[in-house]
Amino acid sequence: MANEPGTNAAQMRSEILRAARLCAPNLEALGELTFAGDAANPGQRTNWASSVLQPILVPAAVQAWEFGRTGFRELLAADQSLCGKLAGPLARNSRTAGTKIALAAQAPAGETALARYMQALSRGEAPGHFAVVFCARAGVFHIPRHAALAAMVFMELRNIPVPQLWDAIDECAAFFPAPAKGLRAA
């Protein structure tokens, strides 16, 4: 995290906390997400990061981040893609948390793609997976992609003892795609 161009560890931590509050304002009510285990155990974190985070969550989260402002259909597609990849308690936890966020926080005014997606979710026409809802909101709030993904991991591992939290997020960040170069159009 601290190796991001132009950022230091304190700035990145602040951005992660800001993203968590903006994208999941009811974070205390979300419960367990897709990480099931002992977040303080490096082996369990690595197993989750390599089997769930990198191949399943990150692609959908990146797509949601990219299209949260402009692509209602793309948001639905990202959300649906998780239905075929997450199963059992992981899928249920993910959908429950995403739906809680969507019901607690409306899309900002003028953000029609996100608003339409959240309306579809409230009508039961979208699964509402946490990674999609969270990262679509991050894109709308102009949170850098790498910070949005790190904040998503923060949410997954938020029960870890604080002294280990930032190192755990750094470990998981190794499973993210390379940071985007250049500017993102608003």
pLDDT in tens, 39-78: 999 999 999 999 999 999 999 999 999 998 888 999 999 9
Residue 103 sits at the vertex; the CA angle it makes with 101 and 108, to the nearest 5 degrees, is 80
d(CA 173, CA 71): 26
Domain contains 34: no
What pLDDT shows up at residue 186? 45
Q: Where are the alpha helices (DSSP H) in 30-71?
A: 42-48, 58-67
What pLDDT shows up at residue 2? 47
What pLDDT shows up at residue 48? 97
Question: What's this model's pTM, rounded to 2 decimal places?
Answer: 0.90
Alpha carbons within 13 A on the beta-carbon side of 52: 20
151 Cα distance to chain centroid: 7
- Find out whether 102 and 118 touch, Cβ atoms under 8 Å: yes
Nearest to 174 by CA among 22, 24, 19, 53: 53
Domain contains 186: no
- Find out whether 170 and 147 touch, Cβ atoms under 8 Å: no
Any residues with CB less than 8 A from the CB of 97 and at least 6 apart, and which?
A: 24, 30, 31, 33, 130
What pLDDT shows up at residue 143? 95
What pLDDT shows up at residue 114? 93
Domain contains 105: yes
Task: Tell me the residue range of the domain where 89 lies.
Answer: 39-173
Domain contains 43: yes
What pLDDT shows up at residue 6? 52
Residue 47 sits at the vertex; the CA angle it makes with 41 and 48, to the nearest 5 degrees, is 90
d(CA 173, CA 49): 9
Domain contains 181: no
Any residues with CB less than 8 A from the CB of 54 and at least 6 apart, and which?
A: 175, 176
Domain contains 178: no
Domain contains 11: no
- Give the E-state strand segments of 85-128 in sequence order: none
Q: How many domains does the chain have?
A: 1
What pLDDT shows up at residue 1? 52
Q: Which residues of the chain have pLDDT under 50?
A: 2-3, 183-186
Q: Residues in the chain, how many?
A: 186
Domain contains 109: yes
Q: Which residue has the tokens 């969550």?
A: 57
How confident is the prediction for the chain on average, in pLDDT? 90
Residue 116 sits at the vertex; the CA angle it makes with 156 and 103, to the nearest 5 degrees, is 45
